[in-house]
Amino acid sequence: MPDKMTVEAQRNKMMLGFIVRRCARDIGHPPTPEEFAEWANSREENGRQYSLFGRPISVTAAKVILSQPGRMVSARLESIVKGLR
């Protein structure tokens, strides 16, 4: 049986495609790697800045992300979901 931390970590993951679609919705069109990196690195909640993936991503990393929409990743779920309601 998996430990509680493993189950929690799996529950806090989502597909990259979901995150990319959220970005596209925010900026009004499918993002370029440059736009996606800027969007992911400049999130704000309650007046505090943060990076969506826990650290800033490069344009090169954004290219990889945009090419792997089915990959599961950890992100700040509450910030993404809050924007969809």
The per-residue pLDDT for 85 is 42
Contact 44, 50 (CB under 8 A): yes
pLDDT tens per residue across span 45-82 = 888 888 888 889 999 999 999 999 888 887 665 555 45
Provide the token pair at 9.
């970590």
Provide the token pair at 65.
């992300």
What is residue 1's three-state secondary structure?
Answer: coil
pTM more than 0.85? no
Contact 62, 40 (CB under 8 A): yes
- Alpha-carbon gap, residue 8 to 74, rounded angstroms: 11
Phi, psi of 76 (to 5 degrees): -80, 85
